[in-house]
Structure 1
Amino acid sequence: MQYPVLIEDGSETTAFGVVFPDLPGCFSAGDTLGSALLAAREAAAAWIEAAVEAGTAIPAPSGPGDVRNLADGKGWTLHLIDLDRPDDGVR
């Protein structure tokens, strides 16, 4: 399933920031866009694993259009990341 992720542009001195709007508290970073996307997958997988262990429902992904509105004009770009989600515990 594809989850939207917002990535804040990095530079030579700052990392690319990563936030999943649908997974509260799930964030990461990377020195390059590629490493930020890889770190995003790892962070989301850990978030989902912790949610399953805690019996917490895993939110369904928002539509890209809904999330794009959060990013517009704020220095964030929208990407979609494929994540495996268990069938149970999904709301």
Structure 2
Amino acid sequence: MPFTYAILHEGDKGFGISFPDFPGCVSGGQTEEDAIRRGEETLNFHVAGMVEDGDQLPFVRTLSELRSDPLFADSLGDGFLTIVLFDLPGKSVRINVSMDENLLDAIDRAAQAKGQSRSAYLADAARARIRSAA
């Protein structure tokens, strides 16, 4: 899974997070952990949108490349760096799986409650499980 560097800043009402290699992609949260989690979600949404629109993804710089950029030093200010993982969306592939019918019904109800398709709900659940195992 690829990663990029993010800058975490403390503000008056919480924390903000920005991504030097993804200009305009920003988020925030009440705590550092919340800002990082929301930042990851925002970055994944941003990258998926770029891929869907056919936009070229930016080159993700190394830490030494970032440090040599004077604009990075200005944007870092009193913030601190963290690493955020993101997904590179791929082509959807149709699969055939078998599972208990009651579990499938529960999945469908949960997906509907979130306004998602069964496939999107299962993919999100799998991503969450994979991230928690890492």
Instruction: Give the alignment's TM-score, normalised by structure 2.
Output: 0.56
Report the 3-state secondary structure (helix = DSSP H, G, I; strand = E; otherwise coil) of the residue aligned with 1:16: strand
Mapping of residues 9-28 of structure 1, within 5 Å:
9-10=10-11, 13-28=12-27
Cα distance per residue 1:19-51 (max 9 Å; x no partner): 111112100011100000001101101101110
Of structures 1 and 2, the larger Rg is shown by 2
| Alpha-carbon distance in 2 for matches of 1:17, 1:28 | 6
Check 1:67–1:15 CA distance in 2 against 1; reply closer, same or farther (3 A cut). Answer: farther
Report the 3-state secondary structure (helix = DSSP H, G, I; strand = E; otherwise coil) of the residue aligned with 2:28: strand
More strand by share: 1
Runs of 4+ in 1 over 4 A off after TM superposition: none
How far did residue 52 of structure 1 move?
1.0
CA RMSD of aligned residues (A): 2.2
Unaligned runs of 5+ in 2: 91-134
Identity among equivalent positions (%) equals 28
- What count of residue pairs does the alignment treat as equivalent? 86
Q: Are residues 1:48 and 2:51 paired?
A: no
